[in-house]
Amino acid sequence: MSDVPVSISTREGVRTLTVQRPEKLNALDRQTLEALDAAFAAAADADDVRVVVLTGAGPKAFVAGADIAQMNALTPVQGRDFSLLGQRLMRRIERLPKPVIASVNGFALGGGLELAMACHLRIAADTAKLGQPEINLGLIPGFGGTQRLLRLAGRAATLELCLLGTPIDAARAQQLGIVNRVVAATDLEAETLKLARQLAGAAPLALRGILDAVSVGGECALEEGLEYESAQFGLLFATEDMREGTAAFLERRAPEFRNR
């Protein structure tokens, strides 16, 4: 088993974070949660990072859940703390000012699906399986699964996945709105990189504005969300990137965004 639970690589503005516990199907223990939290915090601050891709090592799993062996020994207080640790990571990902893509290469179960749902976009291999099977352990989702699944797929689908605990395939997950795209497993890496590069070439400040507006709008009344959107829209008129983007359109050329 690797001593480093998360590997990090950066190329052409795309930072790839890979959960590196294939022997455990990339299960999330405390060390891995803390390593992911630190990695996402670093990505948020790195000037050379425009997009983050999250995936799992090995051919079988994105993240197959939380580490059950570790959870089995927890007290009620420790269990709550473990839940809060996971929720803190999911919240950091959700509020990251740069797009995060989950490249779901295999099992995304329990904490793994919760991790994927915290990302801004999800692209899955057609062989992937997704679900919230905590009911089979006498538990409920603890890293935000009941709440994010509800917002993505609605009440009926959330109750079905959480009450029955039966995984679904990627095609069904796409029908429910849990996954954005499904591609052949052999094409997943290339398609993920293509999507990441497209985002990396977009205006960074506008990307951040969209992420902020959608995040805030999802947590407030419509009028408040509209007001926040207008404020973000107006602020972008003070940026060089907005002037460059509009000038490039008028001059019929590709824009060169500089994140300022």
Residue among 31, 147, 160 at smallest CA distance from 94: 147
Other beta carbons within 10 angstroms of residue 192's beta carbon come to: 26
User: Element (H or E) spanning 242, and its range?
Assistant: helix 240-250
Largest separation between any pair of C-alpha atoms in the chain: 64
Report the length, in residues, of the chain. 260
134 is catalytic: yes
Cα 102 from Cα 227, distance rounded (Å): 30
Distance of CA 233 to the CA centre of its chain: 25
Question: Of the residues 114, 160, 189, 219, which is catalytic?
Answer: 114
Concerning whether 191 is annotated as a catalytic residue, the answer is: no
Q: Which residues contact 230 (CB under 8 A, 6 or more apart)?
A: none
Which is it for strands 168-169 and 129-131: parallel, antiparallel or unpaired? Answer: antiparallel
The 3-class SS string of 171-207 reads HHHHHCCCCCEEECHHHHHHHHHHHHHHHHCCCHHHH
For residue 55, the Cα-to-chain-centroid distance in whole angstroms is 10
Of residues 23, 134, 191, 227, which has the active-site annotation?
Answer: 134
Task: Report which of 209, 15, 178 is spatially closest to residue 108, judged by C-alpha positions.
Answer: 178
* Residues recognised as catalytic: 114, 134
